[in-house]
């Protein structure tokens, strides 16, 4: 082995060691994988509810099914962030907070319709990890029709 080869071997070993230690140290930074209590879950017809549960509830509810890799840094940091952000923007587990103000509920419903129509939700990286989470076009139609019906009933019940 030449001197240069020995030096390269040295550097590679040092990098591997460094990466291993960094990975192990990263595991010390724990993230919260708790599921807070469900305060007022969405009520919707079973076909709608089932599709939303399968496709959205991991990030937009307090009933997240945390996968094993959500316990391994650095994945855990990122997944934790996505779930926290998803719940903050819209949480099906406290949906009754929105229904108490139909304006807010309509706004969330509009957003859902918009994001599923453009295939923006569930996010692509989530679909890559959970191929079964993709909404079928029949499910998209069912959800969109349900949303239209909900909004009609709000319009009918709001005082003019
Ligand atoms: C992997 C996690 C994840 C999944 C699964 C997911 N979302 Fe999201 N969603 C997010 C995040 C993060 C945001 C906020 C950032 C953004 O808009 O990209 C968000 C934002 C939204 C918003 C905007 C809410 C607002 O008022 O600001 C809606 C509506 C939404 N998602 C609907 C859905 C629906 C419907 C599904 C299922 C078909 C779904 N999401 C699945 C992570 C997720």
* Gyration radius of the chain's alpha carbons: 22
pLDDT at 116: 97
pLDDT at 1 over 60: yes
For ligand 1, the distance from its centroid to the CA atom of residue 137, given in whole angstroms, is 18
**pLDDT for 155:** 87
Nearest protein Cα to ligand 1, atom 35: 112
List, for residues 116-127, the tens digit of each pLDDT value.
Answer: 999 999 999 999
pLDDT tens track for 78-95: 999 999 999 999 999 999
pLDDT-derived band at 3, boundaries 50, 70, 90: confident
Q: Which three-class secondary structure state does DSSP give residue 94?
A: strand
User: 9: cis peptide before it, omega within 30°?
Assistant: no
Cα–Cα dist 128/119, whole Å: 13
Residue whose CA lies nearest to ligand 1 atom number 2: 59
**Measuring CA to CA, which residue among 37, 31, 34, 52 is closest to residue 116?**
52
* Residue 86, φ and ψ in degrees, nearest 5: -60, -50
Taking the domains of the chain in order of start, what are their residue ranges? 31-157
Closest alpha carbon to 27 in 69, 57, 71, 66: 71
Cα–Cα distance, 137 to 30 (Å, whole number): 39
């Amino acid at each position: 082995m030449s001197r240069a080869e020995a030096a390269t071997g040295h550097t590679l070993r040092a990098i591997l060691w460094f990466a291993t230690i960094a990975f192990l140290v990263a595991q010390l930074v724990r993230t919260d994988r708790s599921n807070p209590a469900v305060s007022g879950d969405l009520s919707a017809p079973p076909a709608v509810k089932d599709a939303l549960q399968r496709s959205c509830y991991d990030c937009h509810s307090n009933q997240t099914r945390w996968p094993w890799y959500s316990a391994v840094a650095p994945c855990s940091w990122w997944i934790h962030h996505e779930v926290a952000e998803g719940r903050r923007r819209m949480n099906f587990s406290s949906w009754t907070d929105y229904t108490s103000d139909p304006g807010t509920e309509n706004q969330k419903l509009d957003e859902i319709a918009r994001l599923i129509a453009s295939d923006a939700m569930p996010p692509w990286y989530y679909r890559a990890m959970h191929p079964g989470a993709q909404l079928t076009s029949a499910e998209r139609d069912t959800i969109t029709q349900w949303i239209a019906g909900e909004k009609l009933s709000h319009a009918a019940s709001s005082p003019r």
